């Protein structure tokens, strides 16, 4: 009607009219603006195939002039594989999973992939649901945590044919790619270390092991290694909540109540151990003279305690990065054991 007389109507074929937020600009608009074919624009934008320098400049100028943003939804649908990787983690509360995410998203970005994340709250049924949800985005790959999945999840993964990387655990058979370390061995190493340092009344303070399978494996390794020495745990306390500083503090308090002559405490992770340390500080319990403390994960906070925490450092960021890289590069199925490092610290 008025000037130019158009707007939403893509009437003839000559209505670029990017305007101030009307009809979204498409690749066809760019092609018209640059006076080249659509496929040429596509080639230039993806630096794929051949085109002259002059063409590249024309296309780039048109893109800039129109403020064109490619539509990856359309691009993904048209091409074979997507550039998405789904990441499934049990929790965002425990810093180890953001660490894993950090490694994965950094590597993914480098390879030109984007990540979609989902959280299960340590619930296998929720895992099945979010895996289904992620699969509907037709990702190039999926990163999941641990090796334990319910049958529905396994079936969906298998049926989808999507590559899968299972992280942070190598104690058991994997589906495809496995990147991590042995939680069982970590538990054993912790027990042996404590025994080697002369502790004899060693207790365990853990959280809800039915949900956190990797913590359960560490516990099993710890317990079995202790039994091999003929002693076994001097006492155990399982807090019915997820792991946290608070759970560690309460757990140690409760255990000491029941087993006053404990000389060492093995916690299911560093957060719990930090809670235990706070309990000791608050109650004047000398560490490690009266009670030794041992954690798991090797968090920064443990290193900076007045007495550095004895713990096991796990390569979480590296595991995320490695898994991402293997998925992006289409590695064959494999198991990568990144190992762990025992940190002697000063609390045990």
Partner DNA sequence: GTCCGTATTGGCAGCGCTGCCAATTCGGTG
Partner DNA sequence: CACCGAATTGGCAGCGCTGCCAATACGGAC
Give every CB contact of residue 20 below 8 A, 6+ residues apart in sequence.
none
Task: Mark 157-183 as b/e (b = at least 16 C-beta within 10 Å).
Answer: beebebbbbbbbbbbeebbbbbbbbbb
The nearest distance, CB 329 to a second copy, in angstroms, is 21
How many residues touch DNA under the rule CB under 7 A: the total is 29
Does position 290 bind DNA by CB under 7 A?
no
- Choosing among DNA, a second copy, none, which partner's interface includes residue 160 (Cβ < 5 to 8 Å by kind)? a second copy
Q: Footprint of a second copy on residues 23-82 (CB under 8 A)?
A: 24, 67, 69-74, 76-77, 82
Measured distance CA(258)–CA(196) in Å, rounded: 25
Residue 77 contacts DNA per CB under 7 A: yes
Shortest Cβ distance from residue 116 to DNA (Å)? 18
**Site map for DNA, 27-46, x if CB under 7 A?**
xx------xxxxxx-xx-xx
Residue 43: contacted member of DNA, a second copy, none (CB under 5 to 8 Å, by partner type): DNA
Q: Which of 343, 341, 339, 302 is nearest to 319 (CA)?
A: 339
Annotate each residue in 79-118 with x if it binds DNA (CB under 7 A) or - if it does not, as one string.
xx--------------------------------------
CA atoms of 235 and 262, how far apart (whole Å): 8
**Which one of a second copy, DNA, none is in contact with 170 (Cβ closer than 5 to 8 A by kind)?**
none
Question: Does residue 133 touch DNA according to CB under 7 A?
Answer: no
333 lines the binding site for a second copy (CB under 8 A): no
Least CB distance from residue 279 to a second copy, whole Å? 8
Sign (positive/negative) of CA torsion 259, 188, 192, 266? negative
Stretch of 34-42, 130-138, 197-205, 253-261 lying at the interface with a second copy (CB under 8 A): 130-138
Picked from a second copy, DNA, none, the partner binding residue 17 (CB below 5 to 8 A depending on kind) is none
Task: Provide the phi-psi class of 266: left if phi over 0, else alpha when psi is between -120 and 50, else beta.
Answer: beta
Distance CA 278, CA 190 (A): 21
234 binds DNA (CB under 7 A): no
Beta strands 264-267 and 202-206, pairing class: parallel
Residues interacting with a second copy, by CB under 8 A? 21, 24, 67, 69-74, 76-77, 82, 92-93, 95, 97-99, 101-102, 105-106, 114-119, 132-133, 135-138, 155-156, 159-161, 244-246, 249, 274-275, 278, 281-282, 300-301, 303-306
Binding site for DNA (CB under 7 A): 24, 26-28, 35-40, 42-43, 45-46, 48-52, 54-55, 70-71, 74-75, 77-80
């Amino acid at each position: 009607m008025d000037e130019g007389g158009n707007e939403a109507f893509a009437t003839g074929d000559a209505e670029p009219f990017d305007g101030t937020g009307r009809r979204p600009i498409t690749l066809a608009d760019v092609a018209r603006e640059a006076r080249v074919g659509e496929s040429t624009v596509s080639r230039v934008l993806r630096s794929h195939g051949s085109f002259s320098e002059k063409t590249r400049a024309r296309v780039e100028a048109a893109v800039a002039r129109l403020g064109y943003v490619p539509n990856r939804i359309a691009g993904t649908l048209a091409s074979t594989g997507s550039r998405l990787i789904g990441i499934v983690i049990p929790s965002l509360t425990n810093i180890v999973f953001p660490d894993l995410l950090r490694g994965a998203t950094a590597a993914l970005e480098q390879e030109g992939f984007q990540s979609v994340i989902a959280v299960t709250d340590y619930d296998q049924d929720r895992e099945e649901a979010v895996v289904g949800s992620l699969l509907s985005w037709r990702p190039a790959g999926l990163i999941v945590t641990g090796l334990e999945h319910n049958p529905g999840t396994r079936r969906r993964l298998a049926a989808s044919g999507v590559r899968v990387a299972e992280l942070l655990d190598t104690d058991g058979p994997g589906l495809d790619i496995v990147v991590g370390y042995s939680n069982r061995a970590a538990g054993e190493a912790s027990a042996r270390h404590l025994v080697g340092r002369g502790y004899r009344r060693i207790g365990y303070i853990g959280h809800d092991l039915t949900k956190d399978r990797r913590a359960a494996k560490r516990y099993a390794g710890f317990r079995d290694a202790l039994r091999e020495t003929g002693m076994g745990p001097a006492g155990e306390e399982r807090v019915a909540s997820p792991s946290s500083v608070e759970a560690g503090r309460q757990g140690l308090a409760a255990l000491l109540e029941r087993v006053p002559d404990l000389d060492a405490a093995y916690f299911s992770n560093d957060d719990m151990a930090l809670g235990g340390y706070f309990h000791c500080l608050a109650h004047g319990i000398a560490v490690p003279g009266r009670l030794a403390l041992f954690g798991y994960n090797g968090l920064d906070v443990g290193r900076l305690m007045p007495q550095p925490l004895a713990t096991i450092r796990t390569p979480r960021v590296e595991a995320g990065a490695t898994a991402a890289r293997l998925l992006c590069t289409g590695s064959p199925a494999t198991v990568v054991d990144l190992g762990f490092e025992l940190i002697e610290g000063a609390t045990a």
